[in-house]
Structure 1
Amino acid sequence: MKIRIGENLRKLRIKNELTQEKLAEVFGVSPQAISRWENNSTYPDVTMLPSIANYYNVSIDELMGMDDIRNVEKINSTFSIVHEYESKGMIDEAIQTLREAIKVYPNNCGFLSELALALTLKINTDTKFELVNEAITLSERVLLSSTNEKIRSTTKANLCFLYLKIYEDEKAIKLAKTLPHVWECREILLPEMFIEDDYIIELKKGIITVISVICEKIENSKKNKHSSIDKMIAIGPNTNWNDDLKGKIELLTQFLDVASIE
């Protein structure tokens, strides 16, 4: 657990337009001591914390950054609960949990993106125009405000499928073209971070993942419907993708034999 008292002391001092010298005078220490506190080289004596907190009119927890730590823990716990619901097909419960979380954290792009994903899963079984619109609005809002690459990438991928659901094919195609090429994806690049046996292991994992995704798309092409990649985006890959790998390779080979590629 990272104590953020130094960072918080500096922010509070600057917010109150105080110099290190002035603060040192208030608390009876040297300016060098204040500097060391703010750089996290040392911490104030525990007996001084109440006085410092009272001076700035904040709680000791807030002074030490404990509120921020608790928020992070609460947010992570909420994501875990949502992912558990989604993996069990309890989409309504996931949506409700996210709606409650967004009341507390209305600008948390992770929650907004996750709600759009959960709504997409709901749409797959209960196509309602208002749900599609809500999911699209949430996704577009995330793309306007989030700088987190993972959140943006996931949101873009999901939004492509949402646009297709309202027959905005051109928007979907345009957005899809902004996503990374396959040679920039994790499955291709990660093996290069390893050597010898570990390289082979990671390469096999990447190949299996790519083949499995492609095979699902082939199976869906036979049924003349879009792949459920949007489900993969929301709840992650099927952990049994390694099953029947030989059959998947045969399916891929057969498809390439009959498919015409210009």
Structure 2
Amino acid sequence: MQIGSVIRKYRKECGLTQEEMAKRLGVTTPAVNKWENGNTNPDIELLAPIARLLHISLDTLLSFQEKLTDMEIETLIRQMGDKLEKEGFEKTYEWAVQITKKYQNCNMLIWQIAVMLDAGRITGACGNPEQYDEQINAWYEMVLQDENEEIQYHAADSLFGFYLRKKNMWQQKNI
């Protein structure tokens, strides 16, 4: 969620008008309106006062989520599966790139996204599978750095399979 949407949502929950919020923060009403419409963002010095005024944390204001619950990960992966089926590989890949940026600290999600896209490449769900190799490999390597040994193991296993498939493809091309 964009910061403007977060501000609008919590401002309304607090029962504040844009004008009231502006007065309390010492800014103009059009400034608050521009934030909520996504035309501009608040100055960094206003982030803490905005969060306090809206009774939310800075993490909530900035839509920062370090870890997702298993249920949230499962929901996103299910959504990804539906996208693959309905919208195809390329659109799902673009969606996945955005999701991994949004939840860049959730390595379990990133690993599962990489595995699903890797499987899509193997099964021929995309036209040019090699063009996705670099990103999928980067995700596996990134997840390999996780502090959780279970996630490291999954990433190492997936990365090994990835390289083994690449080696076999290379050998087949050179026969």
Structure number with higher relative contact order (C-alpha < 8 Å, ≥ 6 residues apart): 2
Confirm or deny a common fold (TM above 0.5).
Answer: no
Query: What TM-score do the two structures reach when normalised by structure 2?
Result: 0.45
TM-score, normalised relative to structure 1? 0.32
